[in-house]
């Protein structure tokens, strides 16, 4: 995994995401998910290009089952942007890099 992307967990979600001082995009994913692997390089690029404006985090749903359940995650990848501890936007499924960037820009 990349040092540009924050790896969060059920235990750290409150501190890492809900109390974050910047908007934070959380990728709910799993190792076995093909579409999750497809968008991973786009999220890496996003983390680098938006550094200082937004945080990109990943939460592995297999290792952390509580948080996805709390936020109604039913399919992966699910991307959620949080601001001030509140969900600002949600996208489910893989998307082209250009659509990901457009969605992020609209949500920030």
Cβ neighbours of 108 (radius 10 Å): 15
Q: Which of 6, 17, 26, 36 is catalytic?
A: 36
- Distance between CA atoms of residues 27 and 100, nearest Å: 12
Q: Which of 5, 24, 26, 33 is catalytic?
A: 33
Look up 26 and say whether it is catalytic: no
Look up 77 and say whether it is catalytic: no
Q: 3-class DSSP state for residue 104?
A: helix
Cβ–Cβ < 8 Å for 55, 23: yes
Catalytic machinery residues: 33, 36
């Amino acid at each position: 995994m990349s040092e540009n992307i924050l790896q969060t967990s059920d235990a750290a979600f409150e501190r890492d995401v809900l109390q974050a001082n910047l908007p934070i995009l959380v990728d709910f994913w799993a190792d076995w998910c093909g579409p999750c692997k497809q968008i991973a390089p786009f999220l890496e690029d996003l983390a680098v290009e938006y550094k200082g404006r937004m945080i990109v985090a990943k939460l592995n749903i297999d290792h952390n089952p509580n948080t996805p359940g709390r936020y109604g995650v039913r399919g992966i990848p699910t991307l959620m942007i949080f601001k001030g501890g509140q969900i600002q936007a949600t996208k489910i499924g893989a998307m082209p890099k250009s659509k990901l960037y457009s969605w992020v820009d609209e949500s920030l």
